[in-house]
Amino acid sequence: MHSLLVKAALLLLALSSVDGKTYERCELARTLKAAGLDGYRGYSLANWVCTAFAESSYNTAAINHNRDQSTDYGIFQINSRYWCEDHKTPRSKNACGIECSQLLTDNIGVDITCAKRVVRDPNGMSAW
């Protein structure tokens, strides 16, 4: 019985964990540049790297709960009220058409695509 409980606990832990990564600054800069963010919509690579640092300290698994019942997810802290669906935020718009959990992995391709969508809005980087 004890062995079964231990296995069940390990399974739950494995299912609930998020594969995240904390980037080094230069590694993130190379990744963002390769994804076409340097100069995207007039924002420099430095703008993107500084935003990621200010929002998450380069941590892809960062989560922040806000007072308005929304949550910010991932390396860019993309908000569930407007940009992704977490099935918890009332009146979510999900303008990026993604699950918020996709923003928490070590693969930041989805984060980059959604960040590009964010800056195409009239507020641009002011959304952060």
Residues labelled catalytic: 55, 72
Dist. CA 64–CA 61, nearest whole Å = 10
Contact of 72 with 109, CB cutoff 8 Å:
no
Could you tell me which of 14, 35, 33, 21 has the C-alpha nearest to residue 74? 21
Query: Can you tell me whether residue 2 is helix, strand or coil?
Result: helix
Angle between helices 45-56 and 25-34 (to 10 degrees): 130
